[in-house]
Amino acid sequence: MTYDRLVCANCAAPVAEGRCPVCRANRERLQQEGPFGGMSPAMLLALLVALIATLTMFAAYRTA
């Protein structure tokens, strides 16, 4: 999830603006997590399975 759409429960302002200490702390935490930080382990596993399946199909296509 991106912080630009989140609304702070403490001050009711967008988290991206960082108006209060809670907003600023959550904005920093979300920025440090990186692009895969918001994904659940199940989603990461599904992406890994899809990648392996794609590579397997590509390898089978190349040998045929």
pLDDT tens per residue across span 7-62: 888 898 888 888 899 988 888 887 777 667 677 888 889 999 999 999 999 999 98
Query: pLDDT-derived band of residue 3, with 50, 70 and 90 as boundaries?
Result: low
31 CB-side CA count, 13 A? 10
Q: How many helices (H) and strands (E) does the chain have?
A: 2, 0
d(CA 64, CA 59): 9
pTM listed for this prediction: 0.47
